[in-house]
Structure 1
Amino acid sequence: MEIYSSLGIQAGISIFSHIFFIGITFYALQAFRLDQLFKKGRTIQIQLIYILLSIAIGSSVSNFILDISNWSKQLPYIFT
Protein backbone atom coordinates (compact mmCIF):
# COMPACT_ATOMS: atom_id res chain seq x y z
CA MET A 1 0.00 0.00 0.00
CA GLU A 2 2.91 2.36 0.61
CA ILE A 3 3.83 2.31 -3.08
CA TYR A 4 0.32 3.39 -4.11
CA SER A 5 0.31 6.19 -1.57
CA SER A 6 3.69 7.41 -2.79
CA LEU A 7 2.55 7.32 -6.42
CA GLY A 8 -0.61 9.22 -5.51
CA ILE A 9 1.32 11.92 -3.70
CA GLN A 10 3.76 12.23 -6.60
CA ALA A 11 0.86 12.54 -9.06
CA GLY A 12 -0.75 15.25 -6.94
CA ILE A 13 2.49 17.20 -6.72
CA SER A 14 2.96 16.91 -10.49
CA ILE A 15 -0.56 18.16 -11.24
CA PHE A 16 -0.17 21.06 -8.83
CA SER A 17 3.25 21.93 -10.26
CA HIS A 18 1.99 21.96 -13.84
CA ILE A 19 -1.02 24.13 -13.01
CA PHE A 20 1.11 26.48 -10.90
CA PHE A 21 3.75 27.02 -13.59
CA ILE A 22 1.17 27.34 -16.36
CA GLY A 23 -0.50 30.07 -14.31
CA ILE A 24 2.78 31.86 -13.68
CA THR A 25 3.65 31.65 -17.36
CA PHE A 26 0.25 33.03 -18.37
CA TYR A 27 0.76 35.94 -15.96
CA ALA A 28 4.26 36.59 -17.30
CA LEU A 29 3.14 36.48 -20.94
CA GLN A 30 0.71 39.32 -20.24
CA ALA A 31 3.74 41.64 -20.22
CA PHE A 32 4.30 40.99 -23.93
CA ARG A 33 2.28 42.82 -26.54
CA LEU A 34 1.56 39.92 -28.85
CA ASP A 35 -1.47 41.72 -30.24
CA GLN A 36 0.89 43.85 -32.35
CA LEU A 37 1.96 40.72 -34.23
CA PHE A 38 -1.60 39.84 -35.25
CA LYS A 39 -4.11 41.47 -37.56
CA LYS A 40 -6.75 43.74 -36.05
CA GLY A 41 -9.86 41.99 -34.76
CA ARG A 42 -8.19 38.62 -34.11
CA THR A 43 -8.92 38.56 -30.38
CA ILE A 44 -9.74 34.85 -30.18
CA GLN A 45 -6.53 33.86 -31.96
CA ILE A 46 -4.46 36.10 -29.67
CA GLN A 47 -6.06 34.58 -26.57
CA LEU A 48 -5.50 31.10 -27.96
CA ILE A 49 -1.81 31.85 -28.55
CA TYR A 50 -1.48 33.08 -24.95
CA ILE A 51 -3.09 29.89 -23.65
CA LEU A 52 -1.05 27.54 -25.85
CA LEU A 53 2.23 29.32 -25.10
CA SER A 54 1.41 29.24 -21.39
CA ILE A 55 0.78 25.50 -21.50
CA ALA A 56 3.91 24.76 -23.54
CA ILE A 57 6.29 26.92 -21.51
CA GLY A 58 4.69 26.18 -18.12
CA SER A 59 4.73 22.42 -18.69
CA SER A 60 8.36 22.53 -19.78
CA VAL A 61 9.39 24.47 -16.69
CA SER A 62 7.35 22.18 -14.46
CA ASN A 63 8.91 19.07 -16.01
CA PHE A 64 12.36 20.58 -15.49
CA ILE A 65 11.68 21.32 -11.81
CA LEU A 66 10.16 17.87 -11.22
CA ASP A 67 13.08 16.16 -12.99
CA ILE A 68 15.63 18.06 -10.91
CA SER A 69 13.70 17.10 -7.77
CA ASN A 70 13.58 13.40 -8.71
CA TRP A 71 17.23 13.33 -9.74
CA SER A 72 18.30 14.95 -6.47
CA LYS A 73 16.45 12.21 -4.57
CA GLN A 74 18.39 9.60 -6.56
CA LEU A 75 21.84 11.09 -5.92
CA PRO A 76 22.43 9.13 -2.67
CA TYR A 77 22.33 5.91 -4.72
CA ILE A 78 25.70 6.86 -6.23
CA PHE A 79 27.35 6.12 -2.88
CA THR A 80 25.75 2.74 -2.24
Structure 2
Amino acid sequence: MQDIFDGSLRDKFFEILFYADKNIVSNELDKIFEELIAMREICEQKGISNTEILSFKSTNPQGLQDGLNDLYIGLSGEILSQNE
Protein backbone atom coordinates (compact mmCIF):
# COMPACT_ATOMS: atom_id res chain seq x y z
CA MET A 1 0.00 0.00 0.00
CA GLN A 2 1.36 3.40 -0.97
CA ASP A 3 1.63 5.99 1.79
CA ILE A 4 -0.69 8.95 1.22
CA PHE A 5 2.19 11.28 2.07
CA ASP A 6 4.63 9.81 -0.49
CA GLY A 7 5.33 12.01 -3.51
CA SER A 8 4.70 15.66 -4.16
CA LEU A 9 1.38 17.46 -3.85
CA ARG A 10 1.44 17.80 -7.63
CA ASP A 11 1.87 14.04 -8.07
CA LYS A 12 -0.99 13.31 -5.67
CA PHE A 13 -3.21 15.85 -7.41
CA PHE A 14 -2.70 14.22 -10.81
CA GLU A 15 -3.25 10.79 -9.30
CA ILE A 16 -6.59 12.02 -7.95
CA LEU A 17 -7.48 13.48 -11.37
CA PHE A 18 -6.75 10.14 -13.00
CA TYR A 19 -9.05 8.14 -10.72
CA ALA A 20 -11.82 10.65 -10.00
CA ASP A 21 -15.12 10.98 -11.82
CA LYS A 22 -14.50 12.79 -15.10
CA ASN A 23 -17.51 15.12 -14.69
CA ILE A 24 -16.38 16.26 -11.25
CA VAL A 25 -12.86 16.93 -12.52
CA SER A 26 -14.22 18.82 -15.54
CA ASN A 27 -16.43 21.01 -13.36
CA GLU A 28 -13.60 21.87 -10.99
CA LEU A 29 -11.21 22.66 -13.84
CA ASP A 30 -13.87 24.86 -15.45
CA LYS A 31 -14.04 26.87 -12.21
CA ILE A 32 -10.27 27.38 -12.28
CA PHE A 33 -10.30 28.36 -15.96
CA GLU A 34 -13.14 30.85 -15.34
CA GLU A 35 -11.12 32.42 -12.53
CA LEU A 36 -8.04 32.60 -14.75
CA ILE A 37 -10.03 34.31 -17.50
CA ALA A 38 -11.47 36.80 -15.01
CA MET A 39 -7.99 37.57 -13.67
CA ARG A 40 -6.64 38.07 -17.18
CA GLU A 41 -9.45 40.49 -17.96
CA ILE A 42 -8.84 42.40 -14.73
CA CYS A 43 -5.11 42.60 -15.45
CA GLU A 44 -5.84 43.91 -18.92
CA GLN A 45 -8.29 46.50 -17.56
CA LYS A 46 -5.74 47.61 -14.94
CA GLY A 47 -2.98 47.87 -17.54
CA ILE A 48 -0.89 45.04 -16.14
CA SER A 49 1.23 43.72 -19.00
CA ASN A 50 2.37 40.18 -19.69
CA THR A 51 5.92 41.42 -19.08
CA GLU A 52 4.95 42.46 -15.55
CA ILE A 53 3.36 39.08 -14.94
CA LEU A 54 6.46 37.25 -16.20
CA SER A 55 8.65 39.49 -14.04
CA PHE A 56 6.52 38.71 -10.99
CA LYS A 57 6.77 34.99 -11.71
CA SER A 58 10.56 35.10 -12.05
CA THR A 59 11.07 37.13 -8.86
CA ASN A 60 8.61 35.17 -6.69
CA PRO A 61 9.28 31.47 -7.31
CA GLN A 62 8.59 30.40 -3.72
CA GLY A 63 5.34 32.35 -3.61
CA LEU A 64 4.25 30.69 -6.84
CA GLN A 65 5.17 27.24 -5.50
CA ASP A 66 3.26 27.91 -2.29
CA GLY A 67 0.28 29.06 -4.34
CA LEU A 68 0.44 25.96 -6.53
CA ASN A 69 0.58 23.73 -3.47
CA ASP A 70 -2.46 25.51 -2.02
CA LEU A 71 -4.27 25.05 -5.34
CA TYR A 72 -3.38 21.34 -5.50
CA ILE A 73 -4.62 20.80 -1.95
CA GLY A 74 -7.81 22.79 -2.46
CA LEU A 75 -8.74 21.18 -5.77
CA SER A 76 -7.89 17.71 -4.49
CA GLY A 77 -10.17 18.27 -1.51
CA GLU A 78 -13.02 19.54 -3.70
CA ILE A 79 -12.72 16.60 -6.09
CA LEU A 80 -12.40 13.98 -3.35
CA SER A 81 -15.33 15.35 -1.34
CA GLN A 82 -17.60 15.15 -4.40
CA ASN A 83 -16.26 11.80 -5.56
CA GLU A 84 -17.43 9.80 -2.56
Max Rg structure: 1
TM-score normalised per structure 2:
0.36
Q: More relative contact order in 1 or in 2 (CA 8 Å, sep 6+)? A: 2
Q: Which has the higher helix share?
A: 1
TM-score normalised per structure 1:
0.37
